[in-house]
Chains A and B, each alone.
Chain A
Amino acid sequence: AQSVTQLDSQVPVFEEAPVELRCNYSSSVSVYLFWYVQYPNQGLQLLLKYLSGSTLVKGINGFEAEFNKSQTSFHLRKPSVHISDTAEYFCAVSDNNAGNMLTFGGGTRLMVKP
């Protein structure tokens, strides 16, 4: 069965600093990978996705992620964060063995401080 681990439940960072949110998954087959962002009391919004092709994926709001098959990772990065990036970030994975249903990680709360 597939699973997703987000290694940090909270990440505090100062404004304009770089940030990396870590995500590791377990799956024995080809996967599709996603990062979603959730602002307080709102639904989830797709940040970026990896379906195939280039392993470096660029998303909205200046975020990017790199798919590393050998390390089964899909870490999210931003070179300079803004106060408005404060939110919860969810990594998710799907594969054919799971009927292409998304499995979510537990989430990482990014807290950007002035």
Chain B
Amino acid sequence: DGGITQSPKYLFRKEGQNVTLSCEQNLNHDAMYWYRQDPGQGLRLIYYSQIVNDFQKGDIAEGYSVSREKKESFPLTVTSAQKNPTAFYLCASSTQGGIRTGELFFGEGSRLTVL
């Protein structure tokens, strides 16, 4: 079945460590996105990419990095510079039509906890 796969589902990290969250899609979607979700704050955009080898910062990019070497993959690295990384991270993708309207398809999420 087509969809978006995020891994790991749960991740624990010590302070000062970098961690990479995986996002893979087999929907043949052009655009991919990373959102952060905190209780009561909705979703906030971290980074997005509308084409391979190109990506843009979202509203809260500081302390994060991404790459888009393949259409199917958009990994997110949470660096030690991110001051409050504990959150639920959601990866999403969209078609060309979705890029015009904003419609997104979401993965199941990854919950990162910093100990």
Contacts and interface: CB of A to CB of B under 8 A. Distances in A.
B109 A105 contact: no
The range of chain B's interface size is 20 to 34
A80 B94 CA distance: 32
Interface residues of A, number: 24
A90 interface: yes
B40 A44 contact: no
B109 to A, nearest CB: 5
Contacts of A4: 42
A102 interface: yes
A94 B101 CA distance: 7
A51 B105 CA distance: 16
A9 B101 contact: no
B81 interface: no
Given A41-B109, A42-B109, A106 B42 contact: yes
A92 B37 CA distance: 14
B43 A104 contact: yes
Contact of B102 (A42, A90, A94): A94
Nearest to B100: A100
B74 interface: no
Contact of A90 (B4, B42, B111): B42
A53 interface: no
